[in-house]
Amino acid sequence: SNAQPVANEIGIDHIVASAKPEDKLAYLNSLDENSITMMVGDGINDAPTLAGAHLSVAMGGGTDVAKASADMTLLGDNLEKLLEARLLALRTRKIIRENLAWSLGYNLLILPLAVAGLVAPYIAVVGMSASSIIVVSNSLRLLKEK
């Protein structure tokens, strides 16, 4: 199982691998409510544990029941795809924050000036359109980064 190296890379403290379905569910139920859990599974027998975890991941080659019970499905059966998914999520969050900062900054700067009559309305409209284009263009960076 390559669960331990992937867990180490992500920063997961404790893993339970190659356990029976009832053992997985019992372990999940034994944790206190402050524990954040992630379950990775591929079979029908994993569905209850997938449904009970905070974050559940189904393997791409797994059963339809496992995929339906999971929050996320990896493409293929390579557990290392979980690392790629995590990196994509981190990059996405960074870009979302950049876009929010840009939009908020623009609106806090231009809207009061437009309301006060210091900026012509058409300038504010063009600026708002340009701001939207900047946000979309910034988001498109996710497609380029691998």
List the chain domain ranges: 3-79, 88-144
| pLDDT tens per residue across span 89-130 | 999 999 999 999 999 998 899 889 988 999 988 888 898 899
| pLDDT band at 137; cut points 50, 70, 90 | very high
DSSP secondary structure code for residue 14 in this structure: -
Residues composing the chain: 146
CA distance 15 to 55: 14
pLDDT the model gives residue 44: 84
Which pLDDT value is given to residue 1? 59
CA distance 75 to 59: 7
**Is 3-79 CATH 3.40.50.1000?**
yes
Indicate the SS3 state at residue 57: strand
How are beta strands 55-58 and 72-73 bridged, if at all? Answer: parallel
> pLDDT tens for residues 50-85?
888 888 999 888 888 888 889 999 888 888 888 888
Closest by CA position to 57, among listed 33, 82, 35, 29 = 82
136 CB burial (10 A radius; 0-12, 13-18, 19+) = exposed
